[in-house]
Structure 1
Amino acid sequence: MEQVKRLHHDLVVWQEGMKLVEHIYGVARRLPDYEKYELSSQLRRAAVSVPANIAEGAGRNGQKEFLHFLTIARGSLCELETLLLLCSRLDYIKNIDTELKKLNETQALLNGLINAVRKRI
């Protein structure tokens, strides 16, 4: 199936967000079975929300709408960080340095894009 090229595909922050989702899905698979419908599900949803909101914003009309969805994506990153820290506190993940590094890199890219879009409004 051939994909149609979209503007958001060119955004490095969207690309990194997609990689973050893949990584978080791997983390979620390693959580205890009894967390399958709770914490694991929340981790996946928060991670997916990041590139999904970037894409939705890029597909909207205008910079204000784009900015709105970028800030939602940033909120999802904060939620994801909280969930990862909780997993660490509950000893589900022994070392979250890799996850936090990937998250922080994505957040830095997203903050840069948010600042650039704000300057254009």
Structure 2
Amino acid sequence: MGKGKGEGGKGKGEREGRERKKIETFEDLKVWQKGIDLVKQIYLRTKEGELSKDFGLRDQLRRATVSIPTNIAEGFERYSRKEYLNFLNIAKGSAGEVCSLLRVALEVGYLDQPTYTQLSNQAMELSRMLSNQIQSINQSLKQ
């Protein structure tokens, strides 16, 4: 897709009134950065305690979380906006999966309420950011 395709061409700090920086790599994408932040939090929370011993739930939660920034990156590196859009949709689905798995972990007693709230809020924020990006690309494809 090339330079400037990500996040509607908006650069870091644009909302704060600073000079725009072109999006040149997927690592420049705020949504990718927040995805990596969530990955770090999930790995931190799943390496100890009861959740660390439930290999199925732990591994599925980790895979779903890693899928978010990975699909953003893979889509960004594709050559068409339609392909990018497809990978953003997959990432958004993974964000929903993470929210569901976090709820399971809460319900079975692996996470306390504050931890669940913090992690699920991060996942929902990512989902909203992905929705906005998807809508933006859909609009640009209609033009």
Structure 1 and Structure 2 fold alike (TM over 0.5) = yes
Rg: which structure is higher?
2
**What TM-score do you get using the length of structure 1 for normalisation?**
0.90
Q: How does 1:31-70 map to 2 (within 5 A)?
A: 31-32=49-50, 33-35=52-54, 37-70=55-88
- Does structure 1 retain, via aligned residues, the 8 Å contact 2:99–2:124? no
SS in 1 for 2:46: helix
Q: What is the CA distance between 1:12 and its match in structure 2?
A: 0.5
**What TM-score do you get using the length of structure 2 for normalisation?**
0.77
Q: What is the CA distance between 1:31 and its match in structure 2?
A: 4.1
SS in 1 for 2:78: coil
Counterpart in the other structure of 2:121: 101
Q: What is the CA distance between 1:30 and its match in structure 2?
A: 3.0
**Does 2:133 match 1:118?**
no
Counterpart in the other structure of 1:92: 110
The runs of 4+ residues in structure 1 deviating greater than 6 Å are none
Q: What is the CA distance between 1:94 and its match in structure 2?
A: 1.1
CA offsets 1:37-69 (integer angstroms, 9 cap, x no match)? 211111110000000000000000110000000
CA RMSD of aligned residues (A): 1.5
Task: Give percent identity, aligned residues only.
Answer: 35
SS in 2 for 1:38: helix
Q: What is the CA distance between 1:113 and its match in structure 2?
A: 0.8
Of Structure 1 and Structure 2, the greater helix share is in 1
* Corresponding letter in the other structure for 1:94: D
- Does structure 1 retain, via aligned residues, the 8 Å contact 2:42–2:65? yes
- 5+ unaligned residues in a row in structure 1: which ranges? none
Aligned residue pairs total 116
- 5+ unaligned residues in a row in structure 2: which ranges? 1-22
SS in 2 for 1:29: coil
